[in-house]
A and B are shown apart, each in its own frame.
Chain A
Amino acid sequence: MCWCTSHFEFGLQVKVMARIAFLQGERKGQENLKQDLVRRIKMLEFALKQERAKFHKLKYGTELNQAEVKVPVFDEEDKEKSFDAESLTNSTNSNASWKQGRQLLRQYLQEIGYTDTIIDVRSARVRQLLGLQNQTDDDNRPLVNGEQTGKRPSETQGRRTGNKKLTSVVQSALAESEESVMSTFDFLSGEQVVDEDEENLSDGENEENGTADDDDEDRLEKRRTKKILGNESMADQGIDEVLTADPETEEALAEFDFLVSESGEGAGEARSQGDGTDWEKKDLSPSEDWGVDQQLISRLTEQYRKERQKGKKAIQQRPKRSTLQDMLVNLGNQDDSSVQANSVSSPRAGNNMTSLDDSGEYDQEELGDYGRNRVLGVAGPEDDALEAALGLGELADLTVNNDVDPLNYDINSPKEAFRKTWTAKYTLRSHFDGVRALAFHPVEPVLLTASEDHTLKLWNLQKTVPAKKTSASVDVEPVYTFRAHRGPVLCLAMSPTGECCYSGGADATIRCWNIPNSNIDPYDSFDPSVLQDTLDAHTNAVWGLSIHSSRMQLLSCSADGTIRLWSPGTKSPLLNTFRVEEEEGLPTSVDFVRCEPNQLVVSYSSANTYIFDIETAKQIIMLESKQENEYFLSPLESGVAGQINRVISHPTLPITITAHEDRHIRFYDNNTGKVVHSMVAHLEAVTSLAVDPNGLYLLSGSHDCSIRLWNLDSKTCVQEITSHRKKFDESIHDVAFHPSKPYIASAGADALAKVFV
């Protein structure tokens, strides 16, 4: 009995021990997996660094400081791979490292398998070593793309000798106690491989590099021709690679679902990321020399990418990928941005926004379309865009998340209509001094400008001056000049019907004009009835005007400290007058609150903004921004540092947006009076704001000579355009969206107005 018990106990003990051993093995396996993941991340990083170095070399003919680039596993393979990978140099590079990762993974999984029979450490180790060796060879096979076979043998030989060395090291290690070997083995073998490759690299580096350069040159050429001729085959090949790779993975790693899907994702991710870099590279390389149609290429690349996406989706429908995918996305983004920062000559280095130089044209095309289509909601292109987004499947999410990431823009750029961006089209030259304000006709391609030269001018964008053949923009001459103000004209408002407009001037008057037909002969006879009325209750410069969208009501603010509400065209047009305490300084800008028909919002030079009830003339709320003025320009200027230059009401939401002298744009909640968002928007004072009719995009103008288009949702800049020159310290006075047509405009101190399409 006793014996029985002890025997039973012993049996139990054995079982428990076996169980413990099993669990330990499993744990080790998990640890290895973790290590592997880390390693893979490192490898991806390395691949990127290497790519950067290579690019640097190609571009400048000098080596990047290689000391920085730490070489992880299977570096040579990377290199070689990049040579034979048709057009997708970078992507295959990442792909190669993925495969290495997969191989390592498989290796570790085998380890897990062996833990069941962990008692025989020796045999396990031998098999492990064999496995390592076999796999190295096995794994090379799918990578072979024909051309490289010539190079293979020497390559593989090098590796074999490396492995032999490894084997001897391991064997010597076997002399030690099994326990200690067990604990150190994994670490050791990993290290060995790395060391080995490092050595190999340093040996071969010099000779390799010489040929590498040449190869790369050739490759560049081949790549381009290949692209034009055989895009289809290229695409197929790409897909095949993914397709063949995946079942294999599936087989080997069946039980680690999440890992498989992750690695599959990883491949896709790496590839698309690679494509991005490739694009970048194309952008920078002297592509003109090859006479290649870049747009065609991009379109085909895009097509290919989509096909691949579909192919991948067809075979891969596994859950749980989201977490790791996110991780990889983050990683990718980080790398992207660092590439961005590192490529000094990149036209958009360190900046998501584009400038409108002729040289940057290609660049803009890539970026700008994005914002454009969203702003305008143009029916045709929008639908296309939607389709494109849907076609992208999961990647569509990615794009939205990384809106500002320039590399992601090309994902959405295949459609011609979609590629359109804001570019300067019309230059309105005829004013003799700074243009202070501009306003579009509600329907027609017609606009009005008000200038410090005491005039207003009416422009018909369909009446252009025959332009110089070299310039991309066309000049417009005005069809009518409004003369009545006896000083600079400072502000402007167009009636919702487009029949009348109102202008306020430094002469304290508000003039009401009947707008002549936009097809009028510019040299027609003078018609005094164009000047319909003059509102002259103000006693100092009129700085702001706003017209109600449905009622015939006009708001004005003046340096006399008052806000006035008018009903132009009636017998006693002045309806009401609003004021605040003198300590708020002078009103600078005024607007109707668009979503509350009985409210107005007015900003002061004190940096505060008030909302009034129009009926009762009582203040409803103060939108305060005084306390956060951290930017003082100088003791002399401190009084105006936080001054608000423009206030506008969001067309649909209870939000007020202000443009400040301290370079900020601030967003307020009309109900709480609190700042909901504050951002340094320009390099100098922000002077003007305009929201597109759909309320999705914001346009700002600044004395830093640029206008910027902002996504109101993400508060990110979608496009920057350098537009005007400086006169004294002023540059841009006003910006505007056309209420119904795809036009934006800017008014400059350089006496010009510009219209962008």
Chain B
Amino acid sequence: MANVILRRNRPGIKTEDWSNWPDESFEEMDSTLAVQQYIQQAIRHDFSSIEEILTPPEGQDEGVWKYEHLRQFCLELNDLAVKLQSECNPETCTQMTATEQWIFLCAAHKTPKECPAIDYTRHTLDGAACLLNSNKYFPSRVSIKESSVAKLGSVCRRVYRIFSHAYFHHRVLFDEYEAETALCKRFTTFVTKYNLMSKDNLIVPILEDMPEPGESEA
């Protein structure tokens, strides 16, 4: 017990001390949630060093790696949704749109519906939470069936629309959020790296080598 560090956020700690403990190497993480721990540790280390965050530990199962990252994206997107709730109301954003090209229908309903953007955002995150926690498709966080890994792509596509809506309709809010989290950049890198979305759908010009939206539409 001599020099054991207990990594706990004990009641009473200040917000700035949250998860403020020495890093634990992936080999030493014996928990079934080791991948989540590893990803969160990397994000806490430096949320902007996307390469580091997206580099899996050696020998890591890719399905689980992608799954845990997507969980983390959805978790952090809750904050974007909170921001949107204060600004994006059903009167102004009656439909889920990014560019004028598409109206996205909300897949959370039995028959896809034209939900207002804020509802689409909430429903998509709620739906993703249910799917990613589904005992049917993801009974384990240690190993994941191929057929379930295939489901991650569609979750990515839907979740990405929240970024694109914020970028095109609530730019100030988006920029503020992106400065705090670099989440859209990380997400875009993530789906590109693991080929979870087609490049055509990545319409937010967040990466350096991406064309400006005006150019792509021209």
Residues of chain A touching chain B, judged by Cβ–Cβ distance below 8 Å, are 427, 429-433, 453-455, 465, 467-468, 471, 475, 477-478, 481, 483-488, 490, 506-508, 522-523, 525-526, 528, 540-541, 543-544, 559, 585-589, 604-605, 633-637, 640, 643, 645-646, 661, 685, 687, 703, 725-730, 749-751
Query: In the complex, which residue of chain A has the Cβ closest to the Cβ of B34?
Result: A727
Question: Inside 8 A of A481's CB, which chain B residues have their CB?
Answer: 122, 125-126, 129
Cβ-neighbour of B82 out of A486, A525, A643, A729 (below 8 A): A486
Q: Are A726 and B31 in touch, CB under 8 angstroms?
A: yes
Q: How far apart are the CA atoms of A605 and B135 in the complex, in Å?
A: 38
Q: Are B12 and A643 in touch, CB under 8 angstroms?
A: yes
Q: Are A526 and B118 in touch, CB under 8 angstroms?
A: yes
Q: Are A468 and B135 in touch, CB under 8 angstroms?
A: yes
Interface size bucket, B side?
35 or more
Measured CB to CB, the closest approach of chain B to A685, in angstroms, equals 7
Q: Are A453 and B78 in touch, CB under 8 angstroms?
A: yes
Whether A483 touches B122, Cβ cut-off 8 Å, given contacts A454-B79, A661-B10, A728-B7, is yes
Cβ-neighbour of B31 out of A485, A687, A728 (below 8 A): A728
Whether A585 touches B12, Cβ cut-off 8 Å, given contacts A468-B135, A488-B18, A729-B7, is yes
Mark out the residues of chain B between 106 and 140 whose CB falls within 8 Å of any chain A CB in the assembled complex: 106, 108-109, 115-116, 118-119, 122-123, 125-127, 129-130, 132-136
Q: How far apart are the CA atoms of A633 and B37 in the complex, in Å?
A: 23
Interface stretch, picked from B68-76, B188-196, B203-211, is B68-76
Residue B1 lies at the interface, judged by CB distance under 8 Å to chain A = yes
Question: Inside 8 A of B108's CB, which chain A residues have their CB?
Answer: 523
Cβ-neighbour of B32 out of A433, A467, A559, A725 (below 8 A): A725
Cβ-neighbour of A483 out of B71, B82, B106 (below 8 A): B82
Question: Inside 8 A of A643's CB, which chain B residues have their CB?
Answer: 10-12
Q: Are A633 and B4 in touch, CB under 8 angstroms?
A: yes
Whether A540 touches B15, Cβ cut-off 8 Å, given contacts A454-B79, A483-B81, A526-B118, is yes
Which one of B6, B106, B118, B119 has the highest number of Cβ atoms from chain A below 10 Å of its Cβ? B6
- Type the 1/0 row for B42-83, where 1 means its CB is closer than 8 Å to any CB of A: 000000000000000000000000000001101100110110
Could you count the A-B residue pairs with CB atoms below 8 Å apart for me: how many are there?
157
10 example contacts (A-B, Cβ-Cβ < 8 A) are as follows A471-B135, A486-B82, A523-B108, A541-B14, A559-B13, A588-B10, A725-B31, A728-B8, A730-B8, A751-B133
Q: Are B130 and A477 in touch, CB under 8 angstroms?
A: yes
Cβ-neighbour of A468 out of B3, B125, B136 (below 8 A): B136
Q: Are B12 and A605 in touch, CB under 8 angstroms?
A: yes
Question: Inside 8 A of A634's CB, which chain B residues have their CB?
Answer: 1-5
Q: Are B75 and A543 in touch, CB under 8 angstroms?
A: no
Residue B176 lies at the interface, judged by CB distance under 8 Å to chain A = no
Measured CB to CB, the closest approach of chain B to A268, in angstroms, equals 50
Question: Inside 8 A of B116's CB, which chain A residues have their CB?
Answer: 525-526
Residue B36 lies at the interface, judged by CB distance under 8 Å to chain A = yes
Question: Inside 8 A of A477's CB, which chain B residues have their CB?
Answer: 130
Question: Inside 8 A of B175's CB, which chain A residues have their CB?
Answer: none
Q: Are B78 and A455 in touch, CB under 8 angstroms?
A: yes
Residues of chain B touching chain A, judged by Cβ–Cβ distance below 8 Å, are 1-15, 18, 21, 24, 31-33, 36-37, 71-72, 74-75, 78-79, 81-82, 85, 89-90, 106, 108-109, 115-116, 118-119, 122-123, 125-127, 129-130, 132-136
Q: How far apart are the CA atoms of A37 and B79 in the complex, in Å?
A: 77
Cβ-neighbour of A725 out of B4, B13, B33, B71 (below 8 A): B33
Which one of B15, B89, B108, B126 has the highest number of Cβ atoms from chain A below 10 Å of its Cβ? B15
Question: Inside 8 A of B90's CB, which chain A residues have their CB?
Answer: 525-526
Cβ-neighbour of B119 out of A525, A605, A725, A729 (below 8 A): A525
Q: Are B1 and A486 in touch, CB under 8 angstroms?
A: no
Q: How far apart are the CA atoms of A481 and B90 in the complex, in Å?
A: 18
Whether A703 touches B11, Cβ cut-off 8 Å, given contacts A483-B122, A728-B37, is no
Query: In the complex, which residue of chain A has the Cβ closest to the Cβ of B22?
Result: A636
Question: Inside 8 A of A703's CB, which chain B residues have their CB?
Answer: 8
Measured CB to CB, the closest approach of chain A to B49, in angstroms, equals 21
In the A-B complex, the 3 residue pairs with the smallest Cβ-Cβ separation, listed nearest first, are A728-B7, A588-B12, A429-B133
Measured CB to CB, the closest approach of chain B to A562, in angstroms, equals 12
Question: Inside 8 A of B72's CB, which chain A residues have their CB?
Answer: 432
Question: Inside 8 A of B36's CB, which chain A residues have their CB?
Answer: 433, 727
Q: How far apart are the CA atoms of A574 and B47 in the complex, in Å?
A: 37
Q: Are A506 and B82 in touch, CB under 8 angstroms?
A: no
Query: In the complex, which residue of chain B has the Cβ closest to the Cβ of A587?
Result: B12
Question: Inside 8 A of B125's CB, which chain A residues have their CB?
Answer: 481
Question: Inside 8 A of A727's CB, which chain B residues have their CB?
Answer: 31, 33, 36-37
Cβ-neighbour of A636 out of B5, B37, B78, B89 (below 8 A): B5
Question: Inside 8 A of A730's CB, which chain B residues have their CB?
Answer: 7-9
Q: Are A645 and B10 in touch, CB under 8 angstroms?
A: yes
Cβ-neighbour of A750 out of B24, B33, B78 (below 8 A): B33
With A481-B126, A586-B13 already in contact, 13 other A-B pairs whose C-beta atoms are closer than 8 Å: A430-B129, A455-B78, A468-B136, A478-B126, A483-B85, A484-B82, A487-B18, A526-B116, A588-B12, A636-B3, A725-B31, A727-B37, A728-B37
Question: Inside 8 A of A605's CB, which chain B residues have their CB?
Answer: 10-12
Whether A728 touches B24, Cβ cut-off 8 Å, given contacts A645-B10, A646-B11, is yes
Question: Inside 8 A of A467's CB, which chain B residues have their CB?
Answer: 135
Q: Are B13 and A541 in touch, CB under 8 angstroms?
A: yes
Q: How far apart are the CA atoms of A636 and B1 in the complex, in Å?
A: 11
Query: In the complex, which residue of chain A has the Cβ closest to the Cβ of B135?
Result: A475
Q: Are A541 and B15 in touch, CB under 8 angstroms?
A: yes
Q: How far apart are the CA atoms of A468 and B72 in the complex, in Å?
A: 27
Question: Inside 8 A of A485's CB, which chain B residues have their CB?
Answer: 82
Cβ-neighbour of B12 out of A465, A475, A543 (below 8 A): A543
Q: How far apart are the CA atoms of A433 and B18 in the complex, in Å?
A: 14
Q: Are A430 and B130 in touch, CB under 8 angstroms?
A: yes
Q: How far apart are the CA atoms of A726 and B33 in the complex, in Å?
A: 7
Whether A522 touches B78, Cβ cut-off 8 Å, given contacts A636-B5, A727-B31, A730-B9, is no
Question: Inside 8 A of B6's CB, which chain A residues have their CB?
Answer: 633, 637, 685, 729
Q: Are A685 and B4 in touch, CB under 8 angstroms?
A: no
Q: How far apart are the CA atoms of A559 and B18 in the complex, in Å?
A: 11
Q: How far apart are the CA atoms of A635 and B1 in the complex, in Å?
A: 10
Q: How far apart are the CA atoms of A507 and B78 in the complex, in Å?
A: 14
Q: Are B12 and A559 in touch, CB under 8 angstroms?
A: yes
Cβ-neighbour of A454 out of B12, B21, B24, B75 (below 8 A): B75
Question: Inside 8 A of A430's CB, which chain B residues have their CB?
Answer: 129-130, 133
Q: Are B75 and A432 in touch, CB under 8 angstroms?
A: yes
Q: Are A433 and B75 in touch, CB under 8 angstroms?
A: yes
Query: In the complex, which residue of chain A has the Cβ closest to the Cβ of B33?
Result: A727
Query: In the complex, which residue of chain A has the Cβ closest to the Cβ of B17?
Result: A559
Q: Are B11 and A589 in touch, CB under 8 angstroms?
A: yes
Q: How far apart are the CA atoms of A40 and B21 in the complex, in Å?
A: 63
Q: How far apart are the CA atoms of A475 and B37 in the complex, in Å?
A: 25
